[in-house]
Amino acid sequence: MSFSLDQPLVNVLRLIPLIRRLSLTFFLVMAAPLPISANVLRIGVSGNPPFVEQRVKGEGVYYQGISIEVWKQVASALKLEYRFVPQPNTDANVQAVVDRDIDVAIGPISITPDRMALESINFTQPYFYGEEGVLLPKQPPTLLARLKPFVGMAALSSVGALIIAVFVVGNLIWLAERRKNYEQFPSQYVKGVGNGMWFAVVTLTTVGYGDRAPLSRTGRTIAGAWMVISLVTVSTLTAGLASAFTVSLSGAPAKGIAEPTGLRGNSMGVVSGTTSEKWAKKYGAIPSPANNLADAVMLMQKGKTKGVIFDRPALRYYIQQNPQQQLRLASFNLSLQTYGFVVPTDSFLSRPLDIELLRMHREGVIKQIADEMLDEKGLN
């Protein structure tokens, strides 16, 4: 018994090996690693040194800073093509992501509840932890400020109490000695009390001339008590004078805002479009917006504000770059800041960026970048 296959079926059977080869090729291509995006990403850039710094080289412009270096490492690991799009401030940078004008916003962008509440954006893992600080003028003390410790209420009250004590002891010695020891303490009030006060001063200073000395039992008892009191008095007075000399000669800055409560009611410079405006209002200060940090410092130097509220690392960098301006950082911080990148909620970059930033944190790469940048700027 014999039979033959129809020609169409024969053709199909001949195609099976070819189909298998094409299928294998397809799966190999799909399994091969591909760049996350073939498009050139638009990266919004905003902020101040040491996080973002714009430099001019020849006819071109390039960026550097902590935020820039972290992004470059992330983009290199993920094989991303991108171009930087400068933004005027942080708020404008975030809004550009909301409006889909850019794909990612980078810079010292604080992760705040208000920004997290925006439904059209997501923050990545934080890549830097900083503080909100206060910049103040380092005013050299005037002559009056140097002399103030010596004419202050504490100093004057101490001297006044000492004079009263010497006067009282002088009277007591005179009363005890004026009858039996009238040669040293005459019965005339002014001369007798004057000698008594002289004895009190000599005893107080432990000079001990010996030209006046009580002879009666009562007088010696008073003198003994005064000697003990003098030891404590001289020690206290010496410590007070030493402290006053230290304050006067140390060149310490004049008293200014020493704690966060001191911001209340004072006009403080802030940078527009940053969280510094929010923190100024939170602590009861009157915010005076400026376009950038340099302009905010200028407001303070002109006497229009008492200080500047801004990111502490940026303030430290500004002080290091401008030593001639006599500026200082307040000893307190206003808040802890966490910085992250911003992407649209439906961005394909969200998870890859988080994974890469987390990896860089765990391997110490981000800390190394920050340390190198801050060491380079002289901030460590």
Instruction: Read off the pLDDT band of 165 (50, 70, 90).
Output: confident
- Residue 308: strand pairing partners: 135, 269
**Torsion-angle region of 141 (φ positive above 0: left; ψ -120 to 50: alpha; else: beta):** beta
Residue 52 lies in a domain: yes
**Do residue 307 and residue 372 come from a single domain?**
no
339 band by pLDDT with thresholds 50, 70 and 90: very high
Least trusted range by pLDDT, from 156-165, 292-301, 326-335: 156-165
Question: Hey, what amino acid is at 35?
Answer: P
Helices 365-376 and 350-362: crossing angle in degrees, nearest 10, is 70
* Window from 36-40, 172-176, 216-220, 226-230 with minimum mean pLDDT: 36-40
Q: Which of 71-85, 105-119, 213-227 has the lowest mean pLDDT?
A: 213-227
Distances in whole angstroms, Cα of residue 294 to Cα of each of 299, 308, 379: 9, 10, 18
1-46 tens-digit pLDDT = 444 445 554 454 455 555 565 554 544 444 444 444 458 999 999 9
> How far, in Å, are 113, 137, 214, 292 from residue 47 at the CA level?
20, 23, 79, 9
Contact criterion met (CB below 8 Å) for 43 and 82: yes
- Amino acid letter at 96? A
Domain boundary, last residue among 233, 249, 265 = 249
The answer to whether 268 and 286 have CB atoms below 8 angstroms apart is yes
Q: Are residues 363 and 287 in the same domain?
A: no
Total Cβ atoms within 10 A of residue 190: 8
Same domain for 320 and 345, yes or no, is: no
Domain boundary among 234, 249, 264: 249
**What is the percent of the chain with per-residue pLDDT over 90, rounded to a whole number?**
40
In terms of domains, do 277 and 302 share one?
yes
- State the pLDDT at residue 202: 83
* Structural domain includes residue 308: yes
In a domain, 284, yes or no: yes
pTM above 0.85, yes or no: no
Distance CA 186, CA 171 (A): 12
**Residue 195 contacts residue 174 (beta carbons within 8 Å):** yes
β-pair type (267-271, 286-290): parallel
- % of the chain beyond a pLDDT of 70: 78
- Among 151-155, 174-178, 236-240, 357-361, top mean pLDDT goes to 357-361
Average pLDDT, integer, range 159-164? 82
Which distant-in-sequence residues (6+ apart) come within 8 Å of 194 by Cβ? 170
How far apart (Å, rounded) are the C-alpha atoms in residues 15 and 10? Answer: 9
Residue by residue, DSSP assigns 108-156 as S-B--HHHHT-TTEEE----EEEEEEEEEE-PPPPHHHHHHHHHSHHHH
What pLDDT sits at residue 200? 84
What is the average pLDDT across 207-224? 79
Residue-range definition of the domain harbouring residue 85: 40-127+340-376
| Strand (E) or helix (H) holding 70 | helix 66-78
Q: Pick the range with the lowest mean pLDDT from 72-76, 173-177, 311-315, 338-342.
A: 173-177
Q: Rounded to an integer, what distance in angstroms lies between the CA atom of residue 356 and that of residue 73?
A: 9
Least confident piece of the model among 52-56, 65-69, 286-290, 347-351: 52-56
| Total number of domains in the chain | 3
In a domain, 7, yes or no: no
Q: What is the largest CA-CA distance in the chain?
A: 165
Quote the Cα angle for 204-207-211, to 5°.
100
HEC profile of 243-269: HHHHHHHCCCCCCCCCCHHHHCCCEEE
Band the pLDDT of 305: cuts 50, 70, 90.
Answer: very high
Do 154 and 225 have their domain in common?
A: yes
Indicate if 330 and 344 belong to the same structural domain.
no
Helices (H), 272-349: 276-282, 293-301, 312-321
Are residue 162 and residue 234 in the same domain, yes or no? yes
Residue 300 and residue 356 share a domain: no
Is 211 domain-assigned? yes
Cα–Cα–Cα angle for 146, 148, 149, rounded to 5 degrees: 95
| CATH classification of the domain holding 296 | 3.40.190.10
Q: Let me know whether 44 and 122 are in one domain.
A: yes
Tell me, yes or no, whether 186 and 216 share the same domain: yes
- Asked if residue 309 lies in contact with residue 134, where contact means CB atoms within 8 angstroms, the answer is yes
Q: Are residues 239 and 269 in the same domain?
A: no
User: What pLDDT digit, counting tens, does each position of 263-281 carry?
Assistant: 999 999 999 988 899 899 9
Shared-domain flag, residues 301 and 357: no
Residue 319 lies in a domain: yes
**Is 232 domain-assigned?**
yes
| Confidence check: pLDDT of 195 > 80 | yes
CATH assignment at residue 233: 1.10.287.70
Stretch 122-141: mean pLDDT: 88
Contact 248, 149 (CB under 8 A): yes
Evaluated on CA atoms 68, 108, 288, 316, the torsion sign reads negative
Q: Of 22-36, 47-61, 360-374, which has the strongest mean pLDDT?
A: 360-374
For residues 229-256, give the mean pLDDT: 64
Do the domain assignments include residue 44? yes
Among the candidates 249, 283, 317, a domain finishes at: 249
